[in-house]
Amino acid sequence: MKKIDRRTALAWAAAAALAPGASLAAQDAYPARPIKMVVPFPAGNALDVVGRILAAALSSELGQQVVVETRTGATGHIGGEAVARAAPDGYTLLFAASSSMAVSPHLMRLNYRPLEDLVPVALVVTVVNMVVVHKDLPVRSIAELVAYAKANPGKLSYGSYGLGSNLHLAGEMLGSMAGVNIVHVPYSAAQLVPDLLAGRIQVQIANIPEVEQHIKEGTLRALAVTGPTRLSEFPDLPTVAETLPGYNVGAWGMMLAPAKTPPDIVRKLNDACVRLLGRAEVQASMARQRFVAAPRDVAQTAGFLRTESDRWARVVREAKVPMLN
């Protein structure tokens, strides 16, 4: 038998790999090993909880373990950049929020381009927030908050989870539309609510699960929700838009992958997310965090991200928020 040299063997192997159906067969085998999902939120944060629910349910759907890796910092961009630099093979994913994907890119100079270096895989959840104040602040509505801020310029402050976060911009948008100055104070996740309870800041546009118990106990007062309609869980609580028409702020969580991840893998991951988000037990787990499961296909997810990015870019321009670095 004629001996085949190494170069010829490699050439044959390359030809086989390029044969019709070869790449599809390889992708059909995906996932062949555990997947890492980077979650850039502090432990206990509502989106951190949702990310872990997603990872567990996705493990069941795909038949491979999805392992959560927490990488916090820079409004989610430490984790985002790590995934953007990872191999585009479907084995490193990101569970990101509106802050890092649609808001802060318009305010921060980054070492990567979130919308170009990452590909949207699946929109997972959406949520609206709630405007709350310290119990001793003498206001019981958005109109009274605006009047108080006008009568006491510069004396009110609100907290958020950092410069460039959606809660930061939500406050800037409220102040701009109302024509008032409420001073922004960036916080770590662990200290924001305690300082609000202590009265060191007076106002917060908050994730509902983080303040709901304090509202029930009377230590914080809810003024309004930030979405376009009232929530069924709080039917007597008005929207901010009932006082400031056009105000509409929410947050969301989305799964993304490195750019150039094969489209077949992106679709396979999206299909798995759509299936799991349709399961009643997953929807119930999301609802306990006051999030709404929001399954969309790949094209709809990409369109949603672009629309949200354009909307927040407009908010930044209209509120005249300066670059943060």
CATH number at 305 reads 3.40.190.150
- 293 falls in which pLDDT band (50, 70, 90)? very high
Domain extent for 175 = 130-242
Residue 80 within a domain? yes
Same structural domain for residues 229 and 135? yes
Higher pLDDT, 317 or 65: 65
Q: Is 261 within the bounds of a domain?
A: yes
Query: Domain check: are 120 and 257 in the same one?
Result: yes
Beta strand pairing call for 203-206 and 130-134? antiparallel
Q: Are residues 141 and 237 in the same domain?
A: yes
Confidence at 83, pLDDT banded by 50, 70, 90? very high
Q: Where do we find the tokens 């798995």? A: 272
pLDDT for the residue numbered 28: 62
Number of domains in the chain: 2
- The answer as to whether 59 is a domain residue is yes
Are residues 114 and 136 both part of a single domain? no
Looking at residue 5, its pLDDT comes to 52
Residue 12, domain member (yes or no): no
Q: Please check whether residues 139 and 197 belong to one and the same domain.
A: yes
**Residue 176's CATH number:** 3.40.190.10
- Does residue 26 fall inside a structural domain? no
**pTM: predicted TM-score of the whole model, two decimal places:** 0.81
Q: Judge if 74 and 221 occupy the same domain.
A: no
Band of pLDDT at residue 246, cut at 50, 70 and 90: very high
Say if residue 215 is in the same domain as residue 155: yes
Domain boundary among the residues 242, 277, 309 is at 242
pLDDT(21) > 50: no
Q: Which two tokens stand for residue 50?
A: 């949702």
119 and 254 belong to one structural domain: yes
One domain for residues 232 and 141: yes
212 lies in the same domain as 223:
yes
Q: For residue 64, what are its two tokens? A: 């491979």
What is the tens place of the pLDDT at every residue in 43-80? 878 889 999 999 999 999 999 999 999 999 888 899 99
